[in-house]
Amino acid sequence: MNVKDLRLSGRKNHKENTIVKAKNVLFGSEKIVLIGGPCAVESEKQVEEIAKGVHGVSVYRGGSFKPRTSPYSFLGLEKEGIQILKKISEEHKIPFVTEITKIEDLDYFIENVDIIQIGARDMQNFELLKAVGRTKKPVLLKRGFGNTIEELLLSSEYILKEGNPNVILCERGIRTFENSERFTLDIGAISIIKRYSHLPVIVDPSHASGDPFYIESLSLAAIAAGADGLMIEIHNDPANALSDKDQALTIEQYNKLVEKIAPVAKAIGRSV
C-alpha cells in the first residue's frame, strides 16, 4: 500500500472515521445506509412504483446518463431521468444518487443531484475526479473492476486534494477467472479500506453478482464485514428492465432482505 501518497485519504493524519452527510443521511455513522432503485431510470411511473413499495431505503439510486460497453445499448434518459429522480426524491424526502459521465454536466448535477456517482469505468478518469473535487457535493466513488484498492484510495485522493472531503467509496466486484457470477465481490476490500482510510465504504452486491439469487448472502456478508451501506438494484418488473435485465430484486424480495439485514446489523452493534 502506497501509504505515503494517501495524504488526505489515509489514517495517518486523520485517525477518526469520516462521516459524509447527504441531506438527512449520514454515511459512516452507526446506522447503515441502504441505497435502492433501478439500474436505469425508465419512466416516472417506474421510479414512483419502486419508491412507494420499498421499506427502509435511505437513498434512491437510478442511472440516467448510462455509460454502456456497447454504443447500441440503452444509454439512459439523461436530464429527463434526473428530473424524475428529483421529483420523487423531493416527494418522499429521500435523497438520490446518480452517475455523472462528463465534466460539462457538472453544473447541472450540482444544481439537481444529491450525491454524484463516479462509475467503475471512470474511477481513473482523473479529470472528472478533479472536477467533482472542486464541488462540495458528496461523491460516491466506485472501484474499477480491474483496479486495486490502492488505486481506489489514490483516486479518492484526487477528489480530496481539490477540496471536497465528502467521498464515499464503493466495492462492486472485481474481474477474476471465476465466472459463476458476473464479478467476484472482494469482501476483503472492506477491512483493507477501513485499515488504511477514514472514508466510509459501501458495497454493491447487484453489480458484483449480476443475479438476484446471490444478493442476500452477499448483502449480509457485507454488513457483517463492516460496510457502512449497501447499494441494491430494485425493479418493479426485472424481466422487462431496459438495463441489466433480471439482475434486480423485485420490490418484495428487497423488503424481505431488509428484514434479514436488521438483525445482522444489530449483532455487530449497528442499525438500519
User: Residue 67, interface with a copy of itself (CB under 8 A)?
Assistant: yes
Instruction: Give me the 5-24 binding string for a copy of itself, x by CB under 8 A, dash otherwise.
Output: x-x-----------------
Smallest gap from residue 85 Cβ to a copy of itself (A): 21
Report the 10 Å Cβ neighbour count for 163.
Answer: 11
User: Residue 49, interface with a copy of itself (CB under 8 A)?
Assistant: no
CA R_g for the chain: 17
Residue with cell 488504511: 196
Of the pair 194, 235, the CB lying nearest a copy of itself is at 194
Nearest-angstrom CA–CA distance, 3 and 43: 45
Stretch that binds a copy of itself, among 40-48, 55-63, 154-162, 241-249 (CB under 8 A): 154-162
Residues from 208 through 227 that contact a copy of itself (CB under 8 A) = 208-209, 213-214, 216-218, 220-226
Q: Which residues of 168-193 are buried (b: 16+ CB within 10 A; e: fewer)?
A: bbbbbbbeeeeeebbbbbbbebbebb
**Residue 217: partners with Cβ closer than 8 Å, 6 or more residues away:** none
Smallest gap from residue 128 Cβ to a copy of itself (A): 8
Provide the 8-state DSSP code for 178. -
Residues from 250 through 269 that contact a copy of itself (CB under 8 A) = 260, 263-264, 266-268
List 148, 250, 253, 255, residue binding a copy of itself (CB under 8 A):
148
The terminus-to-terminus CA distance of the chain in angstroms comes to 32
Of the pair 22, 132, the CB lying nearest a copy of itself is at 132
Output the CA torsion sign for 60, 102, 140, 120. positive
List 23, 31, 161, 270, residue binding a copy of itself (CB under 8 A):
161
List 2, 13, 240, 271, residue binding a copy of itself (CB under 8 A):
2
Residues from 177 through 196 that contact a copy of itself (CB under 8 A) = 177-181, 184-192, 194-195
**Residue 20: partners with Cβ closer than 8 Å, 6 or more residues away:** 26, 27, 28, 138, 165, 166, 167, 168, 199, 200
List 122, 204, 228, 233, residue binding a copy of itself (CB under 8 A):
122
User: Residue 230, interface with a copy of itself (CB under 8 A)?
Assistant: no
User: Residue 101, interface with a copy of itself (CB under 8 A)?
Assistant: yes
Of the pair 22, 190, the CB lying nearest a copy of itself is at 190
Contact 116, 137 (CB under 8 A): yes
**Residue 195: partners with Cβ closer than 8 Å, 6 or more residues away:** 11
Smallest gap from residue 94 Cβ to a copy of itself (A): 26
User: Residue 69, interface with a copy of itself (CB under 8 A)?
Assistant: yes
Report the 10 Å Cβ neighbour count for 121.
Answer: 16
Of the pair 9, 89, the CB lying nearest a copy of itself is at 9
Of the pair 16, 71, the CB lying nearest a copy of itself is at 71
